[in-house]
Amino acid sequence: MDEQKLTTPSEQPPVKKSKGKWKLLTTGIIAENPIFVLFLGMCPVLATTSSFSSAFGMGLAVIAVLMLTNVLISLVRKWVPNEIRIPIYIVIIASVVTIVEMLMNAFMFDLAQTLGVYLSIIVVNCIILGRAEAFASKNTVLDSLLDGIGTGIGYFLGVVIVALARELIGTFGLGFKNPFTGDVVFQLYFISKEFAQKYAINIFTGNAGAFIMYGLLTAGFIALNETVKQKQAAKAKKLVAQTAGGQQ
Amino acid sequence: MEYILLAISAILVGNIILTRFLGICPFVGVSKSPKNTLGMSGALIAVVFLSAILAYALHRYVLVPLNLEYLKLIAFILIIASFVQFAEMLLKKFMPALYKALGIYLPLITTNCVVLTVSLDVVGTKVTGALLNWGEMLTYSLATAVGYALIIILFSYIQLRMQNSPKLPKPFKGNAIALITAGMMAMAFLAFSGMIK
């Protein structure tokens, strides 16, 4: 990432198009990460991250919904009157979520039961309507699809990171269930099962831990972003100084 | 007695923010000035209560007899969106002062998960079990909304003091410290969990 950014000014003209598409895909993942930067759709981040498996399922559901709604809304964008666009978007989103919910109930029953009402309320998840309004209603179908995938992956990664942190600290172990069958794929423990059950910091799998862990990770992400920015600024300064020195 | 228990469990024990994490965006984002928060929570209580009644009636007397339960998500979100729009128009016409005070918060209520979740709850989810009856439904929806309002009002006063504190490390400013404080509140509210059952 760092190198790409630094070299863009000289390379931009010939590869502008492909770079634009690539950028569409990546902005949603890091620069505009819905969970750690934009803070949109926070409820499921807290509610479905008590275990890695449920967060994984939630992330997948959000990617699917975001891709479909972005494509559909971008397809109909020319026929939607401006005054009533929000109700139309909401109906499209609600239909897509209903379909995804039915499919998950049919093929991933255990997961759908664990997620419960949080699956239904993807409808009012701000990130879906936010992308529809800010991006899909103004851009082509392909761009909207890429934006949906990028933002969806950003959301997925955020949810999974929070869930991993909570499960690792809260149970001193890590388990993963196959979303289709509900069978346990693997279940690991730190040192041994007895040790993990005895010494794990249980509060992090509970309600209070959800808030605290999300808060700590947010602060960590902001601090990391700051240091990366500072380093980049320092690097750029050095480069400028070097080139200036060379010219002289 | 049954209704009082239901109300207490919805307000304190199973508080919708602290145990079910719903309506977090306005909780963290909006509740920075107590005055705005008071106005918004008033509007929210009214919207949650009334739209839950509409959704419950629609589900019980239209969707269930016609075997159309799978349409409830679309039907409910439409009810909520049109109800909020309607309330906005009414307020604008008859109570312009209140309308001005609420400002942007009124239309934002449409995308508040609390409204949709309470409407889904009263027709039966994991939390409430099966379909509630009229009395339970009215108590549950009102108490849940009051619980939500209670927490965001308390939290707005905490935020007011906390965000201006000069000792706060820079990365924690804003949402990070708000979330951690909410975690502390959740811990405090854990004490209520032994009260019922």
Residue type, A242: Q
Measured CA to CA, the distance from residue A148 to residue A64 in angstroms comes to 9
With CA atoms as reference, report the closest residue to B51 among B137, B125, B146.
B137
Residues of B in contact with A123 (CB under 8 A): 73, 77, 116
Query: For residue B84, what pLDDT band results from cuts at 50, 70 and 90?
Result: confident
pTM confidence score: 0.85
Give the side-chain half-sphere CA count within 13 A for B186.
24
CB A39 to CB B25 under 8 A? yes
Mean pLDDT, residues A85-105: 90
Query: For residue A66, what pLDDT band results from cuts at 50, 70 and 90?
Result: very high
Measured CA to CA, the distance from residue A186 to residue A87 in angstroms comes to 44
ipTM: 0.85
Per-residue pLDDT tens over the stretch A181-237: 777 777 878 777 788 788 888 888 888 889 999 999 999 988 988 888 889 889 888
State whether residue A103 is helix, strand or coil.
Answer: helix
CB B73 to CB A40 under 8 A? no
Comparing A10-14, A30-34, A72-76, A237-241, the range with the smallest average pLDDT is A10-14
Q: Pick the residue of A95, A115, A124, A128 with the most B CBs within 10 A to test the interface with B by mutation.
A: A124
Mean pLDDT, residues A118-125: 86
Sign of the dihedral through C-alpha B179, B184, B185, B189 = positive
Q: Which residues make Cβ contacts (< 8 Å) with residue A235, sequence separation at least 6? A: A2, A6
Which residue in the set B74, B120, B178 is minimally distant from A94, CB to CB?
Answer: B74
